[in-house]
């Protein structure tokens, strides 16, 4: 869908410190920075852990398990947030003196998401006495009920939105649960787990646990590399609190203080540890961890993060790299098939419904979320992609949903469920991403409901595909010095995007590199710049009739054979 470049409205930046360049002042102000303290990004700026509801019951339950050395099982999720949450909880409990804990992650193809009754049965067979969920649990009413029937205790740590019924767990920590006054509702699952470790350490200290056990009180900050990775990979909003968590994790990694697993993932994704940025978590490390849960078993990813030495970590990272390559191949095939499905439905850029729901019996369940995201990006419509629930279950299909700004996808699914209670078997998620299951025979009906109800909730403004930019960047600031300033001004991410500028340039050269990337040489005010646009429409570009081009771009530094130069990373281009 064609985009419209819209410059952000100028807003007051008088509250931003005077030593910040004027353009960055406006960048910060337009992204909602309300005080100079938000730019400090030190741990003192974190919201106090005491603001989380449910800490007392949670700490009492886990501490008693530590004292009695009960068998603790951590039940995680099969994405990068779930993997980092599980690894953090495993490592955190070890630091606090637990010697009897392990993890269990549901295989998405056998058990599906979360603390299901089937996973509870497995935990019980393994002798579990206390279950701690990470990045799941708030919607697992039946699983918690089964655990209680079998005599197990359950602590839920989650960040997903709760449903109408809350599980009957021994304790729940979730910033989004009713009654919780924690100021940031955007914590990822790994952020919730980190806060729990902070609270549990304090509780252990107050009970003289470390003195009695003869162990050193741990520095919980050593877990921040996991927090940074999981927070960015889960694409939660980088509000002020999350920016502190990510910035502190990045700081430790750049300084060399990170676990072998993350170091190995940085190496195999050909990133530089000393110059790592937040986007590397989302585009390089996160996908490699996610590949394990998408195609095989997320235990691979978790064990990589928990590796005790660099040699074994590198071996596991290499396995994750192979899985990620296989994931990309499957994804490309599914994207091609998705476009064919769109054609059969007579859906085009000029004939777009308000919501897109696609299903193919042969699609891979582990990759449907990525494909939904790609379709959503291309057509700017909320999208759900469905695949068979399992090879031996043709009666049920599972969908992964991705939304656009202006439509809360989980709320939409809840609305459909309230109006058509027999249509959706189960669902859960966030504002921008969700998952659900329906009967295969109900797909056409769901498809129509999804389109109809999305149309009722979406405004015409939301349906317009606009690209917000920070305006024109003066030539005097198109330098490596300012590019470095932008890099260090982050961390950038979801709802706190890296600055994007726009301007008209004279087009000097253009050619396709790779399969569909457009390499450009452009000129402005007698200065030449290299630029690159990824995944362009090769039917439209190169355009040799085009003499001038309107670019929306990020200012970047390209390093090649030891030489550095400014490069414009093109977000969108259109002939002028």
List the pLDDT tens digit at each of the 576 positions of the chain: 789 999 999 999 999 999 999 999 999 999 999 999 999 999 999 999 999 999 999 999 999 999 999 999 999 988 999 999 999 999 999 999 999 999 999 877 677 778 999 999 999 999 999 999 999 999 999 999 999 999 999 999 999 989 889 999 999 999 999 999 999 999 999 999 999 999 999 999 999 999 999 999 999 999 999 999 999 999 999 999 999 999 999 999 999 999 999 999 999 999 999 999 999 999 999 999 999 988 888 999 999 999 999 999 999 999 999 999 999 999 999 999 998 988 887 777 677 899 999 999 899 999 999 999 999 999 999 999 999 987 666 789 999 999 999 999 999 999 999 999 999 998 888 888 899 999 999 999 999 999 999 999 999 999 999 999 999 999 999 999 999 999 999 999 999 999 999 999 999 999 999 888 999 999 999 999 999 999 998 899 999 999 999 999 999 999 877 788 999 999 999 998
* Alpha-carbon gap, residue 361 to 385, rounded angstroms: 11
Q: Which CATH architecture has domain 46-320?
A: Alpha-Beta Complex (3.90)
pTM: 0.93
Task: Pull the structure tokens for residue 260.
Answer: 């072998």
d(CA 177, CA 496): 24
| Among candidate residues 117, 10, 28, the one with its CA nearest the CA of residue 496 | 28
With tokens 């400014």, the residue in question is: 566
Sequence-ordered strand ranges (E) for 481-547: 501-513, 517-524, 527-533
Q: Could you tell me if 427 and 436 are in contact, meaning their C-beta atoms sit under 8 angstroms apart? A: yes
Choosing among 2.60.120.620, 3.10.310.30, 3.90.1640.10, 2.60.120.460, the CATH entry for 337-463 is 3.10.310.30
Report domain extents, the chain: 46-320, 337-463, 467-575
Q: Distance from first CA to last CA of the chain, Å, rounded?
A: 18
Q: Which CATH code of 2.40.30.10, 2.40.50.460, 3.50.50.60, 1.20.140.10 fits the domain covering 467-575?
A: 2.40.50.460
Q: Strand 383-390 and strand 424-429: pairing?
A: unpaired
């Amino acid at each position: 869908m064609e985009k419209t470049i819209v410059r952000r409205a100028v807003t007051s930046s008088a509250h931003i410190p005077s030593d910040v360049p004027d353009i960055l002042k406006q960048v910060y102000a337009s992204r909602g920075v309300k005080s100079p303290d938000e730019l400090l990004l030190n741990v003192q700026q974190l919201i106090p852990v005491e603001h989380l509801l449910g800490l007392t019951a949670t700490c009492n339950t886990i501490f008693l398990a530590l004292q009695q050395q009960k068998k603790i099982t951590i039940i995680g999720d099969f994405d990068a947030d779930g993997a980092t949450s599980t690894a953090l909880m495993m490592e955190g409990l070890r630091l606090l003196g637990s010697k009897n804990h392990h993890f269990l992650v549901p295989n998405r193809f056998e058990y599906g998401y979360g603390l299901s009754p089937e996973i509870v049965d497995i935990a019980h067979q393994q002798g579990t006495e206390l279950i701690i969920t990470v990045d799941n649990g708030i919607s697992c009413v039946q699983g918690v009920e089964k655990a209680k029937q079998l005599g197990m205790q359950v602590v839920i740590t989650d960040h997903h939105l709760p449903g109408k019924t809350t599980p009957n767990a021994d304790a729940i920590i979730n910033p989004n649960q009713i009654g919780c006054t924690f100021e940031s509702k955007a914590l990822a699952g790994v952020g919730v787990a980190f806060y729990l470790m902070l609270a549990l350490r304090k509780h252990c200290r107050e009970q003289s646990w470390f003195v009695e056990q003869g162990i050193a009180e741990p520095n919980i900050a050593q877990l921040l590399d996991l927090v940074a990775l999981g927070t960015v990979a889960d694409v939660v909003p980088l509000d002020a609190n999350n920016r502190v968590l990510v910035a502190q994790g990045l700081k430790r990694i750049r300084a060399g203080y990170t676990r072998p697993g993350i170091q190995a993932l940085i190496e195999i994704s050909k990133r530089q540890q000393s110059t790592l940025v937040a986007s590397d978590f989302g585009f390089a490390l996160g996908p490699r961890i996610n590949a394990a849960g998408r195609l095989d078993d997320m235990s691979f990813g978790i064990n990589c993060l928990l590796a005790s030495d660099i040699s074994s970590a590198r071996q596991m990272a290499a396995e994750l790299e192979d899985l990620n390559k296989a994931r990309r191949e499957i994804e490309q095939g599914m994207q091609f098939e998705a476009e064919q499905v769109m054609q059969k439905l007579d859906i085009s850029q000029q004939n777009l419904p308000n919501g897109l729901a696609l299903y193919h019996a042969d699609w891979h369940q582990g990759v449907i979320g990525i494909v939904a995201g790609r379709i959503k990006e291309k057509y700017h419509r909320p999208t759900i992609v469905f695949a068979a629930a399992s090879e031996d279950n043709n009666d049920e299909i599972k969908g992964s949903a991705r939304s656009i700004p202006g439509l809360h996808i989980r709320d939409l699914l809840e609305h459909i469920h309230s109006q058509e209670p027999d249509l959706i078997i189960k669902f859960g998620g966030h504002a921008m991403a969700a998952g659900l299951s329906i009967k295969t025979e109900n797909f056409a009906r769901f498809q129509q409901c999804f389109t109809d109800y999305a149309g009722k909730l979406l405004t015409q403004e939301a349906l317009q595909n606009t690209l917000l930019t920070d305006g024109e960047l003066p030539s005097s600031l198109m330098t490596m010095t300012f590019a470095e300033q932008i890099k260090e001004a982050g961390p950038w991410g979801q709802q706190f995007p890296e600055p994007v500028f726009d301007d008209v340039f004279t087009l000097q050269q253009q050619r396709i590199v790779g399969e569909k990337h457009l390499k450009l040489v452009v000129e402005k005010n007698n200065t030449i710049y290299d630029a690159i646009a990824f995944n362009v429409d090769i039917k439209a570009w190169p355009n040799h009739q085009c003499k001038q081009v309107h670019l929306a771009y990020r200012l970047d530094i390209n390093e090649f054979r030891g030489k550095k130069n400014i490069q414009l990373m093109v977000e969108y281009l259109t002939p002028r």
